[in-house]
Chains A and B, each alone.
Chain A
Amino acid sequence: MSEMRWHPLLEEWVITATHRQERTYHPPRSFCPFCPSRAGRAPTEVPRKDYDVVVFENRFPTFRRQPARPAVRATRLSPVRPARGVCEVVLYSPEHDLTLAGAPVEQIYKLVRVWTDRYRELGARTFVHYVLVFENKGNAVGVTLTHPHGQIYAFPYVPPVVQRELEASRRHYSRYRRCLFCASAAEERRARRRLLFSAEGFEAFVPFYARWPYEVHVQPRRHVQDISQLTEAERWGLAGILKRVAQTYDALFGFSFPYMMVMHQRPTDGRRHAHYHFHVEFYPPHRTAEKIKYLASCESGAGSFINDTLPEETAAALRQAARRARL
């Protein structure tokens, strides 16, 4: 059962998806449901192994193309709607142990092409207003299946974080006639202290306002609103810089670094959103090699992030890690 319940205090949707309690939880490697099926074994989600990237509908989706009617009756204060949308799984490779850091840049380029295709195809559906491409990596962020994969949620509404970015960037554009994201990146280039990489039309930096320790944003220099507008050279540029960020993370503390990677791009709600700027945000949960940053009372209850680190220092540590790894 999936439904959207309106939170009248925060004016945002909360999605209930009770069937997700049943999802596969840390199966042994030999029972990985994302590895290609093998003769003599129970079939997995993917019958073939001769593919570059595979995409399929999530078996335990938050949104469904044809959701059941909500179990509860709506009231004036408590609207409820079917959670109509699409949830996809993107398998990065048939290999069980690949990561973005370890993948050849050609493989990440293929992913960029697939993400682009999914953005276009899902975004073209009338009930899809936002296509969220993301990856959760590592146990520390709650990953239950370790086979390299990302996910795509085709939302029936623009999610609140993106909505706030849209509004802030629209206000900035109205006032200064300049893109907020372009202006921020220009400041990062001038300051240099938080800049990690600048190559092939993209920049990676720890933002001035980082909420997570070791948060990194990847942004194209050219003002584009979504992934489908990237040129061929920029697709390669994006593939290359995503790999470098992932490699840098792994080099930081000497282990495969968990993170959440989220793409922010133009909603597919039929509006132009010309002031918006495509970018990728990485939120790693580690604040030290051993310690995790939890979203506790202040973050969860007040909506205010407390970052235990200084972005200028984490950027320096990441640059040092990149040098050690010869990136």
Chain B
Amino acid sequence: MKKERTRMPDGRYLLYYSFDAAELRPAGKRAKPRRAAGARRARKKGR
């Protein structure tokens, strides 16, 4: 998360927040099925 602090002409602060795409993946959610599929393939091959 990136936070950029600026000032408005009347002195109030204004904060812009931006995020990298890499931060927006729920932890484990996308990795788990791949690992599970890999494990299934490995078991099938008898490794």
Contacts and interface: CB of A to CB of B under 8 A. Distances in A.
Interface of A: 45-46, 48, 50-57, 59, 106, 109-110, 113-114, 117, 232-233, 236
B27 A113 contact: no
Given A106-B24, A117-B3, A52 B12 contact: no
A51 B18 contact: yes
Given A52-B18, A56-B15, A232-B27, 20 more contacts: A46-B14, A48-B16, A51-B16, A52-B19, A54-B14, A54-B16, A55-B15, A55-B17, A56-B8, A56-B14, A57-B13, A106-B24, A109-B26, A113-B19, A117-B1, A117-B3, A233-B26, A233-B27, A236-B26, A236-B29
A contacts with B: majority SS: mixed
B13 A54 contact: no
B28 interface: yes
How large, as a class, is the contact surface on chain B? Answer: 10 to 19
Given A117-B1, A233-B26, A52 B17 contact: yes
Contacts of B29: 236
B29 to A, nearest CB: 8
Contacts of B24: 106, 109-110
28 contacts: A45-B8, A45-B14, A48-B16, A50-B18, A51-B16, A51-B18, A52-B18, A54-B14, A54-B17, A56-B8, A56-B12, A56-B13, A56-B14, A56-B15, A57-B8, A57-B13, A57-B14, A59-B10, A106-B24, A109-B26, A110-B1, A110-B19, A110-B24, A114-B1, A114-B17, A117-B1, A236-B26, A236-B29
Interface of B: 1, 3, 8, 10, 12-19, 24, 26-29
Contacts, number: 52
Contacts of B26: 109, 233, 236
Name which of B1, B14, B24, B29 has the most chain A CB atoms within 10 A of its CB: B14
Contacts of A52: 17-19
A46 B27 CA distance: 32
Which 9 residue pairs across A and B have the least CB separation, nearest first? A57-B12, A56-B14, A236-B26, A53-B17, A55-B15, A51-B16, A106-B24, A232-B27, A52-B18
B21 to A, nearest CB: 9
Contact of B27 (A106, A117, A236): A236
Contacts of A46: 14
Nearest to A236: B26
A59 B12 contact: yes
A54 B27 contact: no
A222 to B, nearest CB: 15
A68 B3 CA distance: 30
Nearest to A118: B15
B14 A233 contact: no
Nearest to B24: A106
A51 B17 contact: yes
